[in-house]
Amino acid sequence: MLRRTSEVDMRRLLRAALAAILAALLVVASGFAPASGWAAPKKNQRCPEVPGAPFDWSNVLDSDSDIFEFPAGATPRTFEYQDPAGWLSYESEPTLAQMRKIGTKHKKYDPSKVTDPTLAHEIRRKRMIARWYKYQAGNGTLTWEQWRDRYIRNQSNVHEGEAFENLVRDLLGLSGSTGWRSQARVPKSPVRRDWDFLILTVQCRLGLEVKAGASKIKKSQLDKDGSENEREKTLPESERVAKVQVVSERPTRAEAAAFKRAGVKVFVIQAEGVPVPPPTPGANPPAPAGQAAKPDPQPKDDGGGAEVMTAPGEAASDGGLVRALAGVPATKAEAEEDRKVSRELADDWADPEDMPDDTGGIDFSTLELRYIADPTAGDAGLKYSFSAEPTADGQLSWGGLAAAQQASDAFFVWMALRPEHFWVNLNPNEPDRIIEERLGATDAGRVLLEADLQMKKTVAKLIHPDATGGQRFWDSLRNTDDEQTCLSFRQWIVPDTATVHEHDGGLYIVDAPLIVKSETEYFDGGDAAEGAAAGCRPGDEATEKHNAEVFRSQILTKVQEAVNTAPEYAELRRVYLSRVAAEWYRQRSTNRNTAFADIVNSGDVSRWPSRTGWKPREVFDRYVKSYTDGEFDVTRETALGTVIETHTYIYGGVDFSQSPRSEVGAAAFGSRWGGLPSTVADSMAGTVEDDGRIWLGGASADRPTVPFKVTSVLTWAAGAVMALLVAALFVRSLWRQQRRRREWHAARR
């Protein structure tokens, strides 16, 4: 009986051990469960369907809505267009002898007058060189490559527009059999001039204008449309013609408002043009005499955007951001020259009056990383989306690649280094404790240190008696000595709690503010502060407490507002958004095999060196010079007419060692930011506007192959499984030994 009980117990023990092993394996495996798919896209605004036609255009005209959208397909919609100037992108800068031979009279080189493709290409080449020669004679500042790319874009826009027109006809079934006419003209009336339309239907007196790609609507054209629409309202209703603008990109909020003011309804058919160079003999463009033929066409240069959010040596990125960055000028001066060149080239357009307002559209100085995802299943290695503000009217767009690279580099730096190293310190008494050495070799470190110096300059500006509220600040202080000749504060920037929402393997960063903290602080003068802070002494405790509160309530709040909104702190906000995303990714990598797991906590930032070649000591020396030269000092006159000079000493730094987050629940997120998942999803293919900001997304082409990374959590889990497995084997061994003994004793009996 005892033997049978023992045998039963052993079997139960073995089953329990095996069950424990299976449970442990499930725990480990659950950390690698595939992420669920994207949220369903938001519903598209469309006109009611009628038999035989995609839309009832009469209902469109009667609707109170101003913008309609054709339903998007499962994949981004594209259309091909012939790009006869595409081969010109391979042209090297011509020599002076070549330019002199061709001359500057470009109009005599007209490719439209020949049919032979080889000859046409040669004429296009000579026309471009003639225009370049003329530009050079005018002391133009663009390089050959920059000018050439602008010239080619101007040539291509016309052909892209024509191809989009064909797509619109096919997609909407606009044919003669259904009452539509192409290139139609509405006859004059007592109040109407000739009114040309690309496509017109007489039945419901509706005209369509079609624009694609860079052929955006000019403000002057919209003003003209508005005047024409007002005159149209004076006609009998049966004679009026309504206008609908068909575009290939969603208009921004400002553009939509301009359309509304002009009384023009907008119909959006999202599509991207794909240039196709013309066929030439031998599949290569003809080579000038004495030169080798050009190679077969290669993908267009993305301008460096494909490297954003991609570790060096890994798969390239693609998406809305990469396409938006291509061709964006690097500097403001370059953007101004680029616009000048575009206007000079206007006569190469089919209709020079139709040249777009080349005013950019995206303020890249406000570009920030707002979404990051690392799927555990599928081909995408990393998904991301940035947001930026649109440019103000008349302002140019520039610096996009530098801003995107800065955010991307910071993301990887924050992942590679451990958080305890994320600090900078400007104190004249501590020249050897400015910044951690590895962080000091990166642009993320430069941004933090420059922001620290800028914060001190912001304080100096705010406390000046001539500044708004400056005199009130001084009148509110209590003297620290007989004449109030010294004030000393320590202030530093730290992260506030970021508002985020995690869903489907991704993180939406809704808000990520920064806090500026302050306290009074006095130091003995060191070498750097000799002759300056050495004589600065605090007042009594009550005085110091009062002055600190005055500084916090009247000055510090303004400093914090500047840090969170002012243009001079835009880089700091940008790298901090990357810090929030990187910390989430670091924590996610503790229990998942993420795409960049080998970078997390590696301590190696050599792949993201500073792109500016800065030196931390140079920033420190600028601070000390301002400090010792009295930049922060204030000279003022009291009510009694006494002139007092007050020395102000500001210490502190930036500390990003913490990255607190507050998760927004699904219900609250859906209520306030319900459209954001769809916006982010749409931004993967192109630029999208949402709530006054423009979103630009992308994804790496492949998921990088990385070794399975063992983290502290996985190490514990694996150890637990191994221990249980050993225990199970030990129990099984004992059970087998006891079974053999029983069988041996039974045999002897």
Angle between helices 557-565 and 570-588 (to 10 degrees): 70
Cα dihedral sign for 649, 654, 658, 661? positive
The more confident residue out of 8 and 59 is 59
- Would the pLDDT of 375 be above 60? yes
Instruction: Give the SS3 label for residue 507.
Output: strand
pLDDT tens across 158-207, in order?
Answer: 778 888 888 888 887 777 666 667 766 666 666 555 555 656 665 566 77
Instruction: Report strand pairing: 643-655 vs 486-495.
Output: parallel
Share of the chain above pLDDT 90, in %: 33
Residue range 436-440: mean pLDDT, rounded: 97
- Would the pLDDT of 557 be above 80? yes
**pLDDT the model gives residue 255:** 77
Q: How many degrees, rounded to 5, is the angle at CA 304 between CA 303 and CA 307?
A: 155
**pLDDT the model gives residue 12:** 54
pLDDT tens across 621-647, in order?
Answer: 999 888 777 676 776 665 555 666 676
- Would the pLDDT of 553 be above 60? yes
**pLDDT the model gives residue 525:** 47
Share of the chain above pLDDT 70, in %: 67
Element (H, E) at 267: strand 265-268
Distances (CA, A) of 388 to 157, 287, 500, 529, 544: 25, 44, 18, 42, 42
Mean pLDDT estimate for the chain: 77
Query: Which residues, at least 6 apart from 151, have a Cβ–Cβ distance to it below 8 Å?
Result: 85, 88, 128, 131, 132, 341, 345, 348
**What's the rounded Cα separation, in Å, for the pair 179 and 187?**
18
Determine which of 160-164, 499-503, 526-530, 551-555 has the lowest per-residue pLDDT on average: 526-530
**pLDDT the model gives residue 733:** 61
DSSP 8-state secondary structure symbol assigned to residue 362 = E
pLDDT tens across 323-366, in order?
Answer: 889 888 999 999 999 888 888 887 665 445 445 454 458 999 99
**pLDDT the model gives residue 703:** 53
Task: Quickly list DSSP for 137-185.
Answer: HTT--S-HHHHHHHHHHHHHHHHHHHHHHHHHHHHHT--GGGTEEEEEE
- Residue 360 identity (one-letter amino acid): G
**pLDDT the model gives residue 377:** 54
pLDDT tens across 243-265, in order?
Answer: 888 888 877 777 788 888 888 88
Q: How far apart are the first and last CA of the chain?
A: 17
**pLDDT the model gives residue 579:** 98
Q: With CA atoms as reference, report the closest residue to 154 among 349, 338, 361, 358.
A: 349
- 622 touches 453 (CB < 8 A): yes
- 159 touches 171 (CB < 8 A): no
- Would the pLDDT of 552 be above 70? yes
**pLDDT the model gives residue 387:** 97
- Would the pLDDT of 65 be above 80? no
The more confident residue out of 125 and 237 is 125
Task: Quickly list DSSP for 590-601.
Answer: TSS--TTTTTTT
Query: Which residues, at least 6 apart from 123, have a Cβ–Cβ distance to it below 8 Å?
Result: 109, 110, 111, 114
